[in-house]
Amino acid sequence: MRLAATALATGVLGLVAVAGSLRVAAEATRVAATDPVGKLSGRVKVTEDDGKPASADVVVYVVGFTEKGGSTIATIEQKGRKFNPDLVAITAGDTVKFPNGDPFLHNVFSQSPPRKFDLGSYKLGESKSKEFEKPGVVDVYCNIHPEMAATILVLPNRKHTRTDGQGRFAIADLPPGEWTVFAYTRRAARPVSAKITIKAGTETTVDLTLARGTEAAHLNKYGEKYKPGDGTTYPR
């Protein structure tokens, strides 16, 4: 009986120890689950080629992992013979709509390999949309007005944002790991980047400097140069 009682006591103590370990593990899991992600913040300085400060829209994005898109519909309006905004970041699978807010025709198109398309000509009050399934850079133009240009960054995840008026940015809910952050503005020859380490429950900071140049020349949707006078008359 003494042996049986000893065995029983040992078993109970073992269960208590196991239960204690489970409580500790559960508490650790609970604490980790409250903040299993990190945050990135910083500032992007934009200059012209000559080094003078410039004011520009900047998109900041993190790559190295994928997330599903498809739930967002962005808008690029055609107004005053301009695309507004002229820089948009979306996640692969998202959609962009292109409403025409001008009292004349526009013809939105792109020859960029990630998503070639031609929406044809359409008038004031009409809107057409296009889904972007593959990550990449998509340059968008109007076949009627050569001065119109925009860029769509189709990104592999939802961790992207725009800087504010002071160039500051913040991206929350980043998974822990070693990633790369990029910053891009239109008219820049290429984005700037930096390697980052994201840790759960902490904030990582990084500052970037981005130089931009002049608007690059482009061809019309037929791969030809725009004819003199294109965009100076407005077919209805």
Low-confidence winner among 19-33, 45-59, 144-158 (lowest mean pLDDT)? 19-33
- pLDDT surpasses 50 at 14: no
% of the chain residues with pLDDT over 90: 77
Model confidence band, residue 16 (pLDDT cutoffs 50, 70, 90) = very low
pLDDT digit string (tens) for 75-102?
A: 999 999 999 999 999 999 999 999 999 9
Q: What is the pLDDT of residue 8?
A: 30
User: CB-based contacts of 115: which residues, under 8 Å, 6+ apart?
Assistant: 130, 132, 133, 134, 136, 138, 152, 154
- pLDDT surpasses 90 at 22: no
Task: Return the structure tokens found at 182.
Answer: 């990029």
Determine phi and psi for 21, rounding to 5 degrees: -65, -40
Place of tokens 């269960």: 15
Q: What is the pLDDT of residue 231?
A: 63
Domains of the chain, start order? 37-66+161-215 (2.60.40.1120), 68-155 (2.60.40.420)
Return mean pLDDT, the chain. Answer: 86
Q: What is the pLDDT of residue 69?
A: 93
Distance CA 198, CA 176 (A): 5
User: CB-based contacts of 129: which residues, under 8 Å, 6+ apart?
Assistant: 73, 95, 96, 97, 98
Contact 158, 101 (CB under 8 A): no
148: DSSP letter: -
Residue 2 burial by CB count (10 A; 0-12/13-18/19+): exposed, middle or buried?
Answer: exposed
Contact 69, 91 (CB under 8 A): yes
Q: What is the pLDDT of residue 191?
A: 96
Task: Return the structure tokens found at 183.
Answer: 């910053």
